[in-house]
Amino acid sequence: MEHEWDVFISHASEDKETVNELAKMLVKMGIKVWFDKFTLRLGDSLRDSIDYGLSKSRYGVVVISKNFFEKEWPKKELNGFIAREICEKKVVLPVWHDISQEEVLNFSPILADKLAAKTSDGLNEVANQITLVVNNWKDTNVTDIILAQEAKETSKNESKKYVVFQKYKTQIILVIISFLLLYYIIINISGVQNHLGVMYANGIGVVKNEIKAVEWYRKAAEQGNAEAQSNLGFMYASGRGVAKDDAKAVEWLLKAAEQGVAAAQYNLGMMYEDGISVSKDAFQAVEWYRKAAQQGHVQALYSLGRMYESGKGVAQDQVQAVKLLSKAAERGDVYAQFSLGGHYYSGKGIDKDKAKAFGWYSKAAEQGYVGAEVRLGIFYESGDVVQKDIAKAVEWYRKAAEQGDGYAQGRLFQIENER
């Protein structure tokens, strides 16, 4: 497999300042680093970018800290690297940050068994050890480097013992790794199975195969893995890799939603709102949207805002609608951006401000939302808020017309006839 980056740095956001310094040092040493501050650009999909970085990085530098243990996303990244170690050589390069071996042991015996670089020794030392692995010791790992450094400081007698160890080092390490991977699979087999499903569903490191993705999701889901249950429910709902079956979609989504998976809660809310394999129930839809929105699910924030906006399944409240739509719009949801533009334009639930309306319509139009493209055409044609500019009006009308919008097509015809 071709690798675009030498290392992917997995970390908790609270440790970003330390990790940022480490990443800078590695870059200066000529290491190609996938680090969200360097690699993500405005508009990138976070999940897609991270999945791509995981699959295209030779090693995973995992910064283990107390903050790391409390985060779901970094632990999913670690699961991804562990899954790769089943088929590849050493992938995980652990770095301990302000944490003891006992604390690591309580979280994961596997990580505790791995000799790791430590930030307490200085970031320069950590960067040097990682650089040696990437550039000079591609068939070894951080454990070997630490052992080699310790060997230099031992007595001649200890050095002789080390030479004996070195002779059989490869065989010993392979046995240890095999044992640890087997242990990890036994205690967390459903997590590995779900990750394999994600890899097949998205073609990450393997040839995309949605049928195999469903098979792995099912294995994990039947063991109670909530993420796999959510993923399997989505596959049934969309008919990907399996015959479309809304009843089974509801069954699996409900299991995942009750375990707190935000994506499942959101999808279940949609099914209750539209009456798909369940009795149409706007009140139930609102409750599931609310649960997902409380976890920061962007689409759920928009959907809940829409329910408050229309008074569907909840008392109509334009102020609350604007609050929810704002949260979703600020995180890039195009539908929320368009709706928020409408609120600023009409003054519903917020002070009327056509300039801000134009700003939100612009953000939605830049993502290709046809309704927003029409609105920008109207703004430029009328000279409302912005300077009148027929050329720009035509430009936006044409974008909307190409998507089949009848109003835009009519305005283009009218403008051409008036010239």
The residues annotated as belonging to the active site are 77
Closest CA to 118 of 138, 90, 142, 139: 142
Our separate counts of H helices and E strands in the chain read: 24, 5
- Tokens coding 110: 């596997």
Residues 380-408 as b/e (b if ≥16 CB within 10 A, e otherwise) read bbeeeeeeeeeebbbebbebbbeeebeeb
- 95, containing H or E segment: strand 92-96
253 pairs with which residues across the strands?
none
Could you give the residue ranges of the DSSP H alpha helices within 188-297? 189-202, 210-221, 226-238, 246-258, 262-274, 282-294
Gyration radius from the chain CA atoms: 27
DSSP symbol at 65: -
3-class state of residue 62 by DSSP: strand
- Tokens coding 288: 């599931």
Do 77 and 151 contact (CB within 8 A), yes or no?
Answer: no
Backbone angles phi, psi at 270, to 5 degrees: -65, -40
CB atoms within 10 A of CB 205: 18
Please tell me the total number of residues recorded for the chain in this structure.
419
| Helices 169-187, 189-202: crossing angle, 10 deg rounding | 90
3-class state of residue 9 by DSSP: strand
- Tokens coding 82: 């562990």
- The DSSP-derived string for 287-327 is HHHHHHHHTT-HHHHHHHHHHHHHTSSS---HHHHHHHHHH
